[in-house]
A and B are shown apart, each in its own frame.
Chain A
Amino acid sequence: MRLDAKIPAGPIQQKWDRHRFEMKLVNPANKRRFEVIVVGSGLAGGAAAAAMGELGYHVKCFCYQDSARRAHSIAAQGGINASKNYQNDGDSIWRLFYDTVKGGDYRSREANVYRLAQVSSNIIDQCVAQGVPFGREYGGLLDNRSFGGAQVSRTFYARGQTGQQLLLGTYQSLSRQVAAGQVEMYPRTEMLDVVVADGRARGIVTRDMVSGEVRSWSADAVVLATGGYSNVYFLSTNAKGCNATAIWRAHRRGALFANPCFTQIHPTCIPQHGDYQSKLTLMSESLRNDGRIWVPKTAGESRAAADIPEDERDYYLERRYPAFGNLVPRDIASRAAKGMCDEGLGVGHGRRGVYLDFADAISRLGRDAISAKYGNLFEMYERITGEDPYEVPMRIYPAPHYTMGGLWVDYNLMTTIDGLYAAGEANFSDHGANRLGASALMQGLADGYFVLPYTIGDYLARHMGEGPMPTDSAPFQEVEAEVNGRIDRLLSCDGKRTVDSLHRELGQICWEYCGMSRNAEGLEGAIEKIAELREEYWTNVKVLGVNDELNQALEKAGRVADYFELAELMCRDALARRESCGGHFREEYRTEEGEALRNDEEFTYVSAWEDQGPGKEPVMHREPLDFPNVPLTQRSYK
């Protein structure tokens, strides 16, 4: 298979404009003849559904939640980047493009990133017009804050709830289209497979999560905007329902999966506090602006933090990275914390935590100043841990948070299956090996509002007059039968272990061997362990109840079954990428000082995996990357 990213010719500044002109159009009267399915109602899916409804397409939008407003985009705290340069501090499209490529450690596609930076300003305009209440200056104009990986202030925010407010803006636009009859909304409906015939996506098969009805839906194009796969690790900052089933099923039907090993571990999360823990909670990394990170110098330290004298503390980030100190990028801060805990220097439950101490900042700036800046975060921390961070240092530990990998897409966001698109976190294209803060929201909305409505039109124009395939045709019926077969198999397993207990064990394997740092031996072992556990899963899982009811255990069981396969692919990809870059750190490939060592000669490519069917090893294809506009350099934060 030859991967063609379909990057338009010409200088990078002109590619998107030129492409928009060259794409075919569907005239307004013909748009209503087309059916488009959007799976997922977060920033990417909700925006795509709303924008295409506005254009006149007939859209069906599906989500597993009880309302489109609950998609996990809602949990993003910090903000959204845009190259408005409202602060007059030297920002530009080029700088946002440059920062994103560099932050991604040179493993993203330049043309896509440039387009993202180009449309970033339109996103802010659109959201403000929708009524998103961004933070403002006293003069009434928009305020900005700075964020990791950038030297300009380009982040727009709505308190600590930026994701929520952007999603509600999208949800409101979507609701308007629902009211207008342009979008049909199907909540509590989970996509379980995609239907492909003659190399083209023809529709999807879903399960109604209340009645259990398995049903086919036909369309002219299908968009998957179903988010990332951090829940492979069981414990992550993702919502409990976030899952990879839609993208994984698409992969099994022929869509290539790109860079699965590129996962982001966020450094400032609340540590695990018990074996019953169900998820991890993230706290904004803005805390690192004033908090100092340290561990005791002696392993096995048992004194309370306040009783450990200054000279027995190791402020290890300040010591190792004097230039950036506590503000090193996410991947570096996370790995350093793990390193300390691996040496037995950790604090708190299971010694998997480090201190984030505000004592200095409180004595320097006063309690009130700290409260004004971080009050809501301190409150959240206290609610969860029962400890008051004004009195005792916070404990933090890294947690899986975002996945840069996803379905391979070309410049049009189309996967390797014709008519099947992937948007937002579900695709791989814009963040390379590491995503910068406040860029996920930007990408979701860019894809949904400003890219897909154009590129899907171009595809549909080429299929004018063909019409969707009937759902009683053989390709739909075959997929429906397979979906029903999988459900029956899970329900009839009658084993001894719960879905959660097996998922937890899978998560531990992934976290240990394919988490913050990886090595060949560990990854090879993990692939075997995952295969063994998968074997046990299909023979020993216990799923009670029947299909024809609201059955939450069955929902989980299907998702976890897919995680087993995806987890193996993550390990294979991590094994094949014999370099360290961004969130992917291979212990064998580091500098003399122990920092990540990229290998641009051999690995400046996107790995795109092709499924070969059950029991067969997948095949890796390479999309070479080149960087004519952003010269390759080694990141340094010393």
Chain B
Amino acid sequence: MRLTLQIWRQKNADDTGGFSSYDVDASPDMSFLEMLDVLNETLTEAGEDPVAFEHDCREGICGSCCLMIDGRAHGPEPGTATCQLHMRKFEDGDTIRIEPWRSAAFPVLKDLVVDRVGLDRIVQAGGFISINTGSAPDANLIPVPRDKAELAMDAAACIGCGACVAQCPNGAAQLFAAAKVSHLALLPQGQPERDQRVLRMVEEMESAFGSCTNFAECEVACPKEISIEFIARMNRDYVSARLRRG
């Protein structure tokens, strides 16, 4: 299949950047990133700077890949990270627009590569259970009802790619933060720090990212299909914690 790609090129964080157009021959069985590999091989052979893009596991689990494809985070296929998207989802002759995540909290480093360290900071603010190595009791000492454990796992499935932020008109990180807050708040082990955790994580989140106004775009963009119900949970936790702590 013959495709035209309009790709965002930007030399570094200080460059203003702009779109460049490329023609590429692709096979329907290629993954989207393999199609970009082919483009990069061609560019390199021609002596042109290859397109920088983030990727690693190419199995949809590490959360590295982060392309805005035709205005949709991770492209047209629901519940699929960019690396698992295949070219058979496109038509011969298509023009595809490829951009980096667009959000003030994710500055572009080069071409399609952005800095997502803001997400790490939200976790550092409290997205953990304070347990020192070696001090854990026997694992079966605290039973966790199966449905609770499963729901916690639904939230914990977040791969931290940042598609939720990229797709949100406000650049809010609510779905990311809510997934971690909910995962830990649903488990008995997470109770002692529950209030402090949600207060600190929300504070860090609000300081670097936009605010949520319930567009729900994040849920549609999420490659792990994490539900915005977790945002409601986080909000409830936040309000109770505020009330308790004054």
Contact = CB atoms under 8 A, between A and B. Distances in A.
A172 B120 CA distance: 10
Interface in A121-161: 122, 124-131, 133-142, 158-159, 161
A304 to B, nearest CB: 18
Given A126-B133, A129-B137, A67 B119 contact: yes
A130 B190 CA distance: 8
7 contacts: A125-B137, A129-B129, A171-B123, A185-B120, A240-B58, A384-B31, A550-B113
Interface string B58-75: 111111100000000000
B1 interface: no
A551 to B, nearest CB: 8
B149 A549 contact: no
Contacts of B183: 131, 133
A550 B149 contact: no
B54 interface: yes
A383 B58 contact: no
Interface in B116-150: 116-117, 119-120, 123-140, 142-146, 149-150
Interface stretch (B43-51, B90-98, B208-216, B228-236): B43-51
B82 interface: no
B129 A172 contact: yes
B149 A133 contact: yes
B56 A65 contact: yes
Given A70-B62, A450-B134, 5 more contacts: A172-B128, A210-B110, A239-B62, A278-B34, A450-B133
B11 A549 contact: yes
Interface of B: 11-12, 27-31, 33-34, 37-38, 41, 44-45, 47-50, 52, 54-64, 77, 80, 84, 86, 88, 109-110, 113, 115-117, 119-120, 123-140, 142-146, 149-150, 152-153, 156-157, 159-160, 183-184, 187, 189-190
B224 to A, nearest CB: 10
A175 B124 contact: yes
Contacts of A50: 133
B88 A75 contact: no
Interface string A264-288: 0000000001101111011000000
B30, B129, B133, B149: which has the most chain A beta carbons within 10 Å? B133
B55, B132, B137: which has the most chain A beta carbons within 10 Å? B132
Given A130-B131, A278-B34, A72 B62 contact: yes
Contacts of B80: 383
A394 B196 CA distance: 49
A137 B149 CA distance: 10
A69, A127, A277, A500: which has the most chain B beta carbons within 10 Å? A69
Contacts of B145: 136, 140
A32 to B, nearest CB: 16
B189 A67 contact: no
A136 B144 contact: yes
A34 interface: no
A276 B30 contact: yes
A207 to B, nearest CB: 15
A128 B139 contact: yes
Nearest to A126: B136
A179 interface: yes
A447 B192 CA distance: 29
A353 interface: no
A530 interface: no
A137 B146 contact: yes
Contact of B189 (A129, A179, A278): A129
Nearest to A237: B59
A69 B149 contact: no
B187 A131 contact: yes
Contacts of B128: 130, 172-173, 175-176
B139 A549 contact: no
Contacts of B45: 496, 498, 542
A386 interface: yes
B61 A386 contact: no
A131 B184 contact: yes
Nearest to A64: B56
Nearest to B37: A278
A142 B141 CA distance: 10
A75 B62 contact: yes
Given A67-B116, A161-B61, A498-B44, A140 B54 contact: no
Give the interface SS of chain B, mostly helix, strand, loop or mixed: loop
A478 interface: no
B116 A54 contact: no
A161 to B, nearest CB: 7
A188 to B, nearest CB: 9
A72 B117 contact: no
A479 to B, nearest CB: 27
Contact of B30 (A86, A168, A175, A274): A274
B233 to A, nearest CB: 15
Interface string A158-183: 11010111001001110110110000
A52 to B, nearest CB: 9
A501 B42 CA distance: 11
B37 to A, nearest CB: 6
Contact of A277 (B34, B44, B156): B34
B200 to A, nearest CB: 9
A545 interface: yes
A552 interface: yes
A124 B130 CA distance: 16
A532 B53 CA distance: 32
A126 B139 CA distance: 8
A25 interface: no
A7 interface: no
A172 B109 contact: no
A245 to B, nearest CB: 16
Contact of B56 (A129, A239, A549): A239
Nearest to B84: A383
A128 B187 CA distance: 10
Contact of B109 (A67, A134, A135, A550): A550
A545 B43 CA distance: 12
A389 to B, nearest CB: 16
A159 B224 CA distance: 14
A73 to B, nearest CB: 10
A558 interface: no
A522 interface: no
A517 B81 CA distance: 35
A281 B123 CA distance: 30
A187 interface: yes
A138, A175, A274, A500: which has the most chain B beta carbons within 10 Å? A175
Given A500-B41, A542-B44, A125 B138 contact: yes
Interface string A486-502: 00000000001010110
Contacts of A274: 27, 29-30
**List of 6 A-B pairs having minimum Cβ-Cβ separation, nearest first:** A140-B143, A172-B128, A129-B136, A125-B136, A128-B139, A133-B153
Given A54-B133, A72-B62, A276-B30, A552 B52 contact: yes
A234 interface: no
A179 to B, nearest CB: 4
Contacts of B134: 122, 126, 449-450
A104 interface: no
Given A86-B140, A136-B144, A69 B124 contact: no
B56 A72 contact: yes
Given A131-B183, A273-B29, A277-B34, A142 B139 contact: yes
A40 to B, nearest CB: 14
A67 B152 CA distance: 23
B86 A133 contact: no
A256 interface: no
Interface in A224-259: 239-241
Contact of A138 (B110, B133, B139, B146): B146
